[in-house]
Amino acid sequence: MTLSSEAPADVPTRITVGASAGYAPYDVLVGRRLLAELPGLVGKEARRVAVLHPEALAETGEVLRQDLADQGYEAIAVQVPNAEEAKTAEVAAYCWTALGQTGFTRTDVIVGVGGGATTDLAGFVAASWLRGVRWIAVPTTVLGMVDAAVGGKTGINTAEGKNLVGAFHPPAGVLCDLAALESLPLHDYVSGLAEVIKAGFIADPRILELVEADPEAARTPAGPHTAELIERSIRVKAEVVASDLKESGLREILNYGHTLAHAIEKNERYAWRHGAAVSVGMVFAAELGRIAGRLDDATADRHRAVLGSVGLPITYRGDQWPRLLETMRIDKKSRGDRLRFIVLDGLARPAVLESPDPAMLLAAHAEIAA
């Protein structure tokens, strides 16, 4: 991965996430060679900086740490496991120990560099350390850039399920250096496209058109529309979280496809990437919408077509339904015994489906069962 702190080649795109729920606004920068921006975001009040990075980005973590040390900060690198293995209470506790041993105070700053799993953990450690310190996200996956690093949902998993412990704690800034995507394995790149396509279905159909125009190109960072796809998706997310940071209503639309997705991830013991599970979850939600008489056939079918065209999965093994249903009951959108799903009433018209009939759920499941 080639992150460098040289001056930016071009002016980056700046997307501001507006203030919400008493939290300050912040900028998401998208461009190349953005690391020169990092010290400015860390600020002068901080004395110590902890750079949390996954094993796969050990070199990058050290580049950032050295860069911050050169700027006069007492900078430490904290290596955490790759992917979902980082989102555990044990790893969070390991990070707290590192901060404690470094004498981290309330004015010090955490930098999370990596995919969504790393930034979810870094944000959670920042939210919980001393009841909240500033943090900066440097997402290095498509999914991290378009979704996880933006909006302040931070958290870890428990044995019972995905993201069950966490906090709303927005970052002070987000640096999306597109050069980072060049070292991302294809499987991870494609997984991130599920959240891009989600933004297309719930809010910005132009995203779907760009993917459909050349699905093969959409699968690589060198594609002609890479920056536009990422920026459009960030704008969707930024707009939603600025109006409903704490998910008291509108923000639930970002959970499109996630009710089933999180159950699949848990069922697969996190061997499936989040985006892959979200892909199947969106096909399920589309079928649910169609069966409920809310979504037209063409838009429901478009899910399979566009997700499949970039190589995302659109089916899941059919023998697991009772387990999936059980896990879905503790989805955060559930209220008491009532399951709630985000469905579409049409393209870019997300809405809530309350307590669907079990027969409807079963019928939608039959449509995704392999």
Ligand X SMILES: O=C(O)C(=O)C[C@@H](O)[C@H](O)[C@H](O)COP(=O)(O)O
Q: Does position 192 bind ligand NAD by CB under 6 A? A: yes
Which of helix, strand or coil describes residue 123?
helix
Q: Which is nearer to ligand NAD, 118 or 299 (CB)?
A: 118
* Piece of the chain touching ligand X by CB under 6 A; list 22-30, 91-99, 247-255, 264-272: 247-255
Q: Does position 30 bind ligand NAD by CB under 6 A? A: no
The single residue of 37, 255, 273, 304 carrying the catalytic annotation is: 255
Closest C-alpha among 70, 81, 11, 7 to residue 42: 70
Q: Is 262 a catalytic residue?
A: yes
Please write down the long-range contacts of 346-355, taking CB distance under 8 Å and 24 or more positions apart. 346/295, 346/296, 346/299, 347/201, 347/205, 347/299, 348/201, 348/202, 348/203, 348/204, 348/205, 350/202, 350/203, 350/253, 350/256, 351/294, 352/252, 353/288, 353/289, 353/292, 353/294
Looking at this protein, which amino acid is placed at residue 367? E
- Residue 17, beta-bridge partner list: 26
The single residue of 198, 274, 290, 365 carrying the catalytic annotation is: 274
Between CA 194 and CA 309 the distance in angstroms is: 11
Label residue 36 exposed, middle or buried (CB < 10 Å: 0-12, 13-18, 19+): middle
Q: Is 153 a catalytic residue?
A: yes
From candidates 191, 255, 267, 279, binder to ligand X by CB under 6 A: 255
Choose from ligand X, ligand NAD, none: what does 258 bind? Cβ within 5-8 Å by kind: ligand X
The single residue of 169, 235, 262, 303 carrying the catalytic annotation is: 262
Q: Does position 258 bind ligand X by CB under 6 A? A: yes
CB of 1: closest distance to ligand NAD in angstroms?
Answer: 5
* Piece of the chain touching ligand X by CB under 6 A; list 1-9, 128-136, 249-257, 280-288: 249-257
Between CA 60 and CA 39 the distance in angstroms is: 16
Task: Give DSSP secondary structure letters for 303-367.
Answer: HHHHHHHTT----B-GGGHHHHHHHHTT-TT-BTTB-EEEEESSTT-EEEEES--HHHHHHHHHH
CB of 74: closest distance to ligand NAD in angstroms?
Answer: 25
Q: Which is nearer to ligand X, 251 or 303 (CB)?
A: 251
Q: Does position 163 bind ligand X by CB under 6 A? A: yes
Looking at this protein, which amino acid is placed at residue 214? D
Q: Does position 329 bind ligand X by CB under 6 A? A: no
Q: Does position 147 bind ligand X by CB under 6 A? A: yes
Q: Where are the alpha helices (DSSP H) in the chain?
A: 38-42, 58-70, 89-102, 116-128, 142-143, 186-202, 205-213, 215-218, 226-243, 258-267, 274-291, 297-309, 321-328, 358-368
Q: Is 87 a catalytic residue?
A: no
Q: Is 251 a catalytic residue?
A: yes
Q: Does position 61 bind ligand NAD by CB under 6 A? A: no
Choose from ligand X, ligand NAD, none: what does 114 bind? Cβ within 5-8 Å by kind: ligand NAD
* Piece of the chain touching ligand NAD by CB under 6 A; list 188-196, 199-207, 316-324, 356-364: 188-196
> By CB under 6 A, what part of segment 133-162 binds ligand NAD?
140-141, 143-144, 147-148, 151, 153
Q: Does position 111 bind ligand NAD by CB under 6 A? A: no
From candidates 32, 65, 134, 153, binder to ligand X by CB under 6 A: 153
- Residue numbers in the known binding site for NAD(+) are 116-120, 140-141, 153, 162
Task: Determine phi and psi for 160, rounding to 5 degrees.
Answer: -85, -15
Contact code string over 180-209 relative to ligand X, x by CB under 6 A: ---------------x--------------
Whole-angstrom distance between the N-terminal and C-terminal Cα of the chain? 37
Between CA 210 and CA 193 the distance in angstroms is: 12
- Residue numbers in the known binding site for Zn(2+) are 195, 258, 274
- Residue 109, beta-bridge partner list: 49, 134
Q: Give contact residues for ligand NAD (rule: CB under 6 A).
A: 1, 54, 56-57, 82-84, 87, 114-118, 120, 140-141, 143-144, 147-148, 151, 153, 163, 180, 183-184, 188, 191-192, 195, 273-275
Catalytic residue list: 131, 153, 195, 237, 247, 251, 255, 258, 262, 274
